[in-house]
Amino acid sequence: MAEELQLTLGLLVRQVRAASAADGVTLSQTSVLKHLAREGSTTAVELARAEKVRPQSVIATVNALQEQGFVARTPHPTDGRQLLIALTAQGREFLRKRQATGLGLLAQLMTERFTPAEQQTLAAAIPLLRRLAEH
Amino acid sequence: MAEELQLTLGLLVRQVRAASAADGVTLSQTSVLKHLAREGSTTAVELARAEKVRPQSVIATVNALQEQGFVARTPHPTDGRQLLIALTAQGREFLRKRQATGLGLLAQLMTERFTPAEQQTLAAAIPLLRRLAEH
DNA sequence: TATTGTTATACTCTATAACTATA
DNA sequence: TATAGTTATAGAGTATAACAATA
């Protein structure tokens, strides 16, 4: 079962990645944007912790987003070491559009191709996958 | 729900990828080895189709596996254009060892951390994920 | 002409190592 | 000393473009 899951994960991620990159914003970038939308502005170290990658990796992603104008860095009011990363209006607008235009492959497929019972099965499995991901 | 799934997929794959690479054989390479073990020898184009990547991408993976001695190319008996890619004895041995040593992160976590009921939920969800992956 | 395999090249994602600035 | 941010560099994974050989 673990094998089947692993193979399936690989296939799925490739597909989601390709679909996500189609509008110029990659999967990692999307993940960071969504984190900022959910949790508000935060630091690179905190983002790295949430995404389970190294700060250096997250910084590369944030740099790409900043170049596109979707996030901005501002100095922390009291701690001179920190830079707070926040969504810009443009970043918020991008996420809004993505939602509005059907979001993406997964949401579309899940509603079109799955019966309510199947959707329920999937909904029950997601927290389990999350636990696997969180180790 | 699609959002949650997408985020979870990203986290999971990063983790599996890191764990898989620990013994020198990466996730993509493992996926190709398993395909060959299941389906027997095949061509680059067919592998690419199965993995849902371009032939060029699969060729890079196969080259890496060939350098490690896990696969070998032999000319197709009748079609001069094709090269058949097959597991070597060494490749088969590698897969066998992986299985024997607990396979990997996922199998271990799934048996240690999940109740039978949870394992059942996950088992029911995997074919659904597979359908998503197969588009 | 179509298909198979390939090389060249580039970009994303992630990592390790090494550094600076601030606490 | 510890933490936050960063740059430099490298390797995996994938893509597009262009090409040779064979059908």
Angle at B30 between CA B24 and CA B32, to 5 degrees: 135
What single string gives the DSSP state of each residue in A117-132?
HHHHHHHHHHHHHHHH
Residues 86-105, chain A, touching B (beta carbon < 8 A):
103-104
Query: pLDDT, tens digit, for every residue of B67-91?
Result: 999 999 999 999 999 999 999 999 9
This prediction's pTM: 0.89
Query: pLDDT, tens digit, for every residue of B90-129?
Result: 999 999 988 877 566 788 888 889 999 999 999 999 999 9
Query: pLDDT, tens digit, for every residue of B9-19?
Result: 999 999 888 88
pLDDT at A103: 60
User: Cα separation of A14 and A135, whole Å?
Assistant: 22
Query: Could you check: is the Cβ of residue B68 within 7 Å of any atom of nucleic acid strand D?
Result: no
Query: pLDDT, tens digit, for every residue of A25-52?
Result: 999 999 999 999 999 999 999 999 999 9
Rounded percentage of chain A residues whose pLDDT exceeds 70? 98
pLDDT at A64: 96
* CB pair distance less than 8 Å for A125 and B122: yes
- Averaged pLDDT, A92-120: 85
User: Cα separation of A128 and A64, whole Å?
Assistant: 32
Distances in Å between the Cα of A80 and the Cα atoms of A57, A75, A77, A83 are 22, 7, 7, 8
- Of residues A41 and A102, more confidence is placed in A41
Query: pLDDT, tens digit, for every residue of A48-75?
Result: 999 999 999 999 999 999 999 999 999 9
- Averaged pLDDT, B24-34: 93
Q: Which residues in chain B are contacts of A10 at CB distance < 8 A?
A: 13, 27-28, 31, 51
Rounded percentage of chain A residues whose pLDDT exceeds 90? 73
Tokens of A20: 């996500």
Q: What are phi and psi of B85, to 5 degrees?
A: -100, 130
Confidence of residue A102 (pLDDT cuts 50, 70, 90): low
Q: Which of A6, A31, A118 sits opposite B16 (nearest CB)?
A: A6
pLDDT at A109: 83
A-B Cβ pairs (cutoff 8 Å, strict):
148
Question: In whole numbers, what is the pLDDT of chain A averaged over residues?
Answer: 92
